[in-house]
Amino acid sequence: QVRLLESGGGLVQAGGSVRLSCVASGRTFSTYTMASWFRQAPGKEREFVAVVGWRLQSIYYSEFAEGRFTISRDMDKDTVYLQMNSLKPEDTAVYFCAAASFWPMNYREKQAYELWGQGTQVTVSS
């Protein structure tokens, strides 16, 4: 069974940092074209955070993530990371890792992804 497993969430104060990790099991990230992070706050739609191309390492961010968050991948560890700095209370959400076999035009939309993790909660206190 192919799965994505996120970890690293928790409670952090505003201005602090958190690093999320996402590991693939059952199928390696190298067989996917891209990996992304999304987030979903209570009562809101799931929104795109950042994407990284597994082989070419093309990277794109949402506007709110640009300059504060960094997505990266470690091919040896088959892991995707999301380093989040200067966190704000509005960053509170469940963060999901996702993977896709192709890089479509709508990579910022959740419909583009075929595999999702279970999510990890990040809570930023003021």
Instruction: pLDDT band for 72, please (50, 70, 90 cuts).
Output: very high
Per-residue pLDDT, averaged over 17-38, amounts to 91
Q: How far apart are CA 11 and CA 4, in angstroms?
A: 22
Q: 23 forms bridges with which residues in the sheet?
A: 5, 79
Amino acid identity, position 78: D
Side-chain half-sphere exposure of 52, counting CA atoms within 13 A:
19
How does DSSP assign 17-86, residue by residue? -EEEEEEEESS-GGGSSEEEEEEE-TTS--EEEEEEETTT--EEE-TTTTTTEEEEEETTTTEEEEEE-S
Residue 107 has pLDDT above 90, yes or no: yes
